[in-house]
Amino acid sequence: MSGKIFYRSRRKTGEGEKKPRYRVVAVADCNLKIYVDHLRMAELEHLAEVMKAELIPLRLGEKHDGPATE
């Protein structure tokens, strides 16, 4: 069974900023430790590929519109 990596978009990044935009919130069924606070999508995808895990964006709360990755 493959693991799952749950992530969300950072709240304080603007469009076009050159800072890592995503934060890993939880990991299920994977033996994985993450030592950074923020990651780029390419880094998340590479981790998921190597770990054979599924990337799952978290839904935003009721006060926000759209998916977590926007």
User: What are 6-56's pLDDT values in tens digits?
Assistant: 999 877 656 666 677 888 899 999 888 899 988 999 999 999 999 999 999
pLDDT at 70: 44
E strand map for the chain: 4-9, 22-28, 54-57
Q: How far apart are CA 46 and CA 3, in angstroms?
A: 14
pLDDT at 12: 66
pLDDT at 6: 95
Is 66 a domain residue? no
Q: Which domain holds residue 52?
A: 4-57
Q: How far apart are CA 69 and CA 66, in angstroms?
A: 8
pLDDT at 59: 86
Is 50 a domain residue? yes
Number of domains in the chain: 1
- The rounded mean pLDDT for the chain is 82
Angle at 43 between CA 39 and CA 49, to 5 degrees: 135
pLDDT-derived band of residue 1, with 50, 70 and 90 as boundaries? low
CB 60 within 8 A of CB 45: no
Is 34 a domain residue? yes
